[in-house]
């Protein structure tokens, strides 16, 4: 168990651990000690960082100046979101606001809150096998987070980038910004409509006990989210879902053969489609269609400038996806695809 002590390490030597701590001898404290001693500290050994938890410098529940200094100045933060503890999310928000590297972890089986659902989070289990797997995954994340090329991403930094896009006069950035705003408005309108039709809990209050009402509301909300997702997929042109890649490729190849007017290929870097041998037959069909002149073939890729947003979500090195995009652009140029038909 952690003991309260004066921490004399320099910020560059510290990995500050944000987590639910609980009272001494509580189940929360026992679980926190296990995560700290059997997952986080072993994962930090290669990096040379020292794990420091808030109860080692202050009483549980206190947000002192010393704790805030550790949150803002520590070289790395590991945040355990288990149990949706308010203090944890307060401290996580402080770290996000200062654009510093943080690794999120959570007990397996628990659900991330909406605000951070897009951030990569490592699941762990409180057994030997689960601890080993989580330790190894955290080790990989630490290596990436401490690399010179790593650019921390969070809801705060992404909002900041969108704000920056909104202030620029660049036509490309305006297109990106307008597209994001339109999609958010569409999602908001559709969710409001769905909520009005599906989640009418007031109609059930007089006839159903409160505990059943809560269960029904949860189920209805879950179904409304799934229905909304299916609607959006259909609106985006998704006409089939395949369990195996071979089946999807077969259907895709057939669609390419049958389409005689316009084909639009949308992807992040299109590495698989344009750069891998296993997809060469599909790429050959696209090139033939484009060069034949009867069918318009267009390509939409992620802009290299924002590619690291996805790289951070996929735990990939900064610049890796951007390089893949540049290679794909060179391939399309060699195919003599008109510049008007290639967009970022």
The string of DSSP codes covering 151-174 is ----HHHHHHHHHHHHH---HHHH
pLDDT of residue 279: 84
Instruction: Kindly state the average pLDDT of the residues 125-152.
Output: 89
Helix (H) or strand (E) holding 132: helix 128-145
What sign has the CA pseudo-torsion 32, 38, 39, 45? positive
Q: How far apart are CA 100 and CA 4, in angstroms?
A: 26
Note whether residue 160 is domain-resident. Answer: no
Q: Which residue has the higher pLDDT, 132 or 58?
A: 132
Instruction: Kindly state the average pLDDT of the residues 41-55.
Output: 92
pLDDT at 173 exceeding the cut of 90: no
pLDDT at 1 exceeding the cut of 50: no
pLDDT at 94 exceeding the cut of 60: yes
Task: Specify the number of domains making up the chain.
Answer: 3
pLDDT at 40 exceeding the cut of 70: yes
CA dihedral 317, 319, 322, 326 (to 10 degrees): -120
pTM confidence score: 0.48
Note whether residue 17 is domain-resident. Answer: yes
229-282 pLDDT, tens per residue? 667 766 666 667 777 777 888 888 888 888 888 999 888 888 888 888 888 888
Q: In this structure, what are the phi and psi dihedrals at residue 64, rounded to the nearest 5 degrees?
A: -90, 165
Asked if 297 contacts 290 with a C-beta cutoff of 8 angstroms, the reply is yes
Residues 71 and 148 in one domain: yes
Q: Which residue has the higher pLDDT, 331 or 116?
A: 331
Residues 98 and 17 in one domain: yes
Q: Quote the crossing angle between the two packed helices 155-167 and 86-97, to the nearest 10°.
A: 40
pLDDT of residue 201: 46
Residues 143 and 15 in one domain: yes
pLDDT of residue 247: 82
pLDDT of residue 336: 92
pLDDT at 19 exceeding the cut of 50: yes
The chain-wide mean pLDDT, for the chain, equals 80
Residues in the chain: 344
- Domain span at 182: 168-235
Residues 102 and 177 in one domain: no
Percent of the chain with pLDDT over 70: 70
Note whether residue 163 is domain-resident. Answer: no
First and final CA of the chain: distance in angstroms? 52
Residues 199 and 264 in one domain: no
Residues 25 and 72 in one domain: yes
Confidence of residue 5 (pLDDT cuts 50, 70, 90): very low
Q: How far apart are CA 91 and CA 55, in angstroms?
A: 14
Residues 49 and 122 in one domain: yes
Q: Which residue has the higher pLDDT, 1 or 157?
A: 157
Percent of the chain with pLDDT over 90: 29
Residues 254 and 208 in one domain: no
Residues 146 and 20 in one domain: yes
Q: How far apart are CA 117 and CA 110, in angstroms?
A: 12
pLDDT of residue 277: 86
Asked if 137 contacts 108 with a C-beta cutoff of 8 angstroms, the reply is no
Q: How far apart are CA 9 and CA 36, in angstroms?
A: 18
pLDDT of residue 3: 47
Instruction: Kindly state the average pLDDT of the residues 62-74.
Output: 81
């Amino acid at each position: 168990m952690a003991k309260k002590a004066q921490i004399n390490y320099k910020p560059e030597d510290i990995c500050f651990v944000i987590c639910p701590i609980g009272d001494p001898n509580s189940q929360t404290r026992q679980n926190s000690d296990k995560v700290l001693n059997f997952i986080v500290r072993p994962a930090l050994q290669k990096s040379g960082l020292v794990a420091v938890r808030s109860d080692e410098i202050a009483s549980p529940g206190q947000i002192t100046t010393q704790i805030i200094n550790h949150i803002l100045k520590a070289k790395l933060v590991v945040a355990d979101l288990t149990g949706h503890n308010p203090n944890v999310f307060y401290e996580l928000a402080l770290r996000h606001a200062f654009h510093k590297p943080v690794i999120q972890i959570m007990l397996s089986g628990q659900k991330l809150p909406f605000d951070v659902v897009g951030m990569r989070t490592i699941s762990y289990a409180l057994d030997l096998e689960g601890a080993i797997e989580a330790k190894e995954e955290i080790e990989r994340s630490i290596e990436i987070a401490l690399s010179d090329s790593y650019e921390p991403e969070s809801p705060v930094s992404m909002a900041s980038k969108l704000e920056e896009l909104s202030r620029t006069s660049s036509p490309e950035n305006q297109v990106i910004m307008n597209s994001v705003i339109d999609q958010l408005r569409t999602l908001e309108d559709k969710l409001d409509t769905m909520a009005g039709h599906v989640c009418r809990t007031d109609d059930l209050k007089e006839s159903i006990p409160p505990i059943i009402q809560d269960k029904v509301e949860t189920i209805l909300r879950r179904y409304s989210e799934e229905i909304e997702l299916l609607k959006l997929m259909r609106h985006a042109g998704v006409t089939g879902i395949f369990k195996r890649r071979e089946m999807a490729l077969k259907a895709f190849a057939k669609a390419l053969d049958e389409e005689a007017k316009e084909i639009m290929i949308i992807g992040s870097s299109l590495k698989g489609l344009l750069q891998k041998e296993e997809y060469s037959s599909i790429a050959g069909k696209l090139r033939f269609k484009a060069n034949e002149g009867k069918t318009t073939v267009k390509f939409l890729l992620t802009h290299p400038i924002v590619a690291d947003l996805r790289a951070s979500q996929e735990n990939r090195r900064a610049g890796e996806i951007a390089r893949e995009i540049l290679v794909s652009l060179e391939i399309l140029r060699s195919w003599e695809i008109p510049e008007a038909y290639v967009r970022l």
